[in-house]
């Protein structure tokens, strides 16, 4: 895809200012955000990606932020811009959580942060729910299993450090699948004070209930609900590697 980068100097004016201060910001807010970007050594942004906001393409949008492709020292990065109507007052806390999960090799790599921005590794790929629809023919089952296994291993490491992502029941929004890797994103609702239920939540989302479970069933013969629930229960009681591997075995991963 053709990507052209636009200097942040142009961001004082519409339409670009709309993205820097979405959904609404004053001139002084925009100017202060541009200064913040300069401090972060971010000089240009590119409007590319699947989500269109005010006629501009972005990597995505949630309730906390708008995420755009940007450049920091000529390296492509993902820039999460705090929405002006967000419940979160700053991005530093999310940055700290992201840094924490990076220690066990989970999530996009945290690069830098400020009050209104989170600079992180740009994860190339598509959302899991779109990706699963692209699977067909020989090798589909292998690909699906490898991807789910990778995400479950990430979840296991999060469980191990007592970290709860909080939104993994919604895989469609929080797993990006690329050509060679898949990544869990958005640690905005995460916590180190809750009982972690990453493995459990994502297993339920992959194999029980959701539309994804139905699709997975068509790709390979997934085990019965009862079997999965029994293995999950055992794992929940004692989050050991042995019980986790038993779950993987039951799931034929
Ligand atoms: N590191 C990243 N690389 C590429 N795209 C990303 C990255 N982080 C987020 N996105 C995209 O931006 C969207 C919104 O980001 P997210 O962190 O979920 O925001 P929110 O906390 O507001 O929900 C995601 O659904 C995803 O499509
Ligand atoms: Mg989100």
Q: Please name every residue paired with 206 in a beta bridge, in sequence order, or none if there are none.
A: none
Q: Can you tell me the distance from the alpha carbon of 181 to that of 47, in angstroms, rounded to the nearest whole number? A: 24
Helices (H), the chain: 16-20, 27-39, 92-102, 128-134, 140-160, 171-174, 198-207, 211-219, 225-237, 241-250
Q: Give, for ligand 1, the residue of 102, 186, 188 to mutate: max count of ligand atoms closer than 8 Å to Cβ.
A: 186
What's the rounded Cα separation, in Å, for the pair 187 and 161? 15
| Ligand 1: residue whose CA is nearest its atom 4 | 123
Residues written for the chain: 253
* Domain range summary for the chain, segments of one domain joined by +: 5-88+109-121, 126-250
Per-residue confidence band for 172, with pLDDT thresholds at 50, 70 and 90? confident
* Ligand at shortest distance from the CA of 51: 1
Burial class (CB in 10 A: 0-12, 13-18, 19+), 7: exposed
**Three-state secondary structure call for residue 30:** helix
Q: What does the longest C-alpha to C-alpha distance in the chain come to?
A: 58
The yes-or-no verdict on residue 3 having pLDDT over 90 is no
Average pLDDT estimate for 124-136: 96
Q: Which protein residues have a CB closer than 5 Å to ligand 2 (ion)?
A: 62, 186
Q: Please state, rounded to an integer, the average pLDDT across all residues of the chain.
A: 96
Given a cut of 90, is residue 93 above it in pLDDT? yes
Per-residue pLDDT tens digits for 11-55: 999 999 999 999 999 999 999 999 999 999 999 999 999 999 999
Q: What is the mean pLDDT of residues 163-183?
A: 94
Cα 29 to its chain centre, rounded Å, is 27
pLDDT at 1: 55
Q: Please report which helix (H) or strand (E) contains residue 190, including its range.
A: none
d(CA 66, CA 203): 28
Q: What is the per-residue pLDDT for 73?
A: 92
Site to substitute for ligand 1 among 68, 176, 181, 188, most atoms within 8 A of C-beta = 176
In this prediction, residues 188-207 reach a mean pLDDT of 96
Mean pLDDT throughout 63-82? 97
- Counting from 1 in the atom list of ligand 1, the atom nearest the Cα of 50 is 27
What is the distance in A from the centroid of ligand 2 to the CA of 245?
Answer: 29
Reference 199, options 239, 172, 237, 170; nearest CA is 239
Exposed/middle/buried for 216, CB within 10 Å: 0-12, 13-18, 19+? Answer: buried
């Amino acid at each position: 895809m053709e990507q052209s980068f636009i200097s942040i100097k142009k961001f004082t004016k519409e339409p670009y200012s709309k993205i820097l201060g979405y959904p609404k910001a004053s001139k002084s807010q925009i100017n202060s955000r541009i200064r913040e970007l300069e401090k972060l050594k971010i000089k240009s942004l590119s409007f590319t990606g699947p989500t269109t906001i005010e006629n501009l393409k972005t990597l995505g949008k949630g309730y906390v932020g708008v995420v755009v492709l940007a450049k920091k020292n000529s390296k492509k990065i993902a820039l999460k811009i705090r929405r002006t109507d967000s419940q979160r007052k700053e991005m530093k806390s999310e940055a700290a959580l992201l840094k924490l999960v990076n220690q066990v090799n989970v999530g996009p790599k945290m690069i830098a942060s400020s009050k209104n921005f989170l600079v992180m590794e740009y994860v190339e790929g598509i959302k899991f729910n779109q990706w699963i629809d692209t699977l067909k023919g020989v090798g589909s089952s292998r690909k699906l299993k490898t991807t789910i296994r990778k995400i479950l291993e990430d979840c296991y490491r999060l469980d191990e450090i007592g970290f709860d992502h909080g939104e993994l029941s919604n895989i469609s929004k929080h797993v990006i699948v690329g050509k060679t890797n898949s990544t869990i994103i958005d640690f905005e609702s995460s916590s180190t004070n809750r009982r972690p239920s990453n493995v459990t939540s994502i297993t339920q989302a992959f194999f029980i209930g959701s539309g994804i479970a139905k699709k997975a069933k068509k790709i390979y013969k997934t085990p019965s609900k009862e079997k999965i629930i029994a293995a999950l229960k055992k794992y929940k009681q004692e989050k050991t590697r042995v019980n986790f591997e038993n779950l993987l075995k039951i799931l034929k991963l």
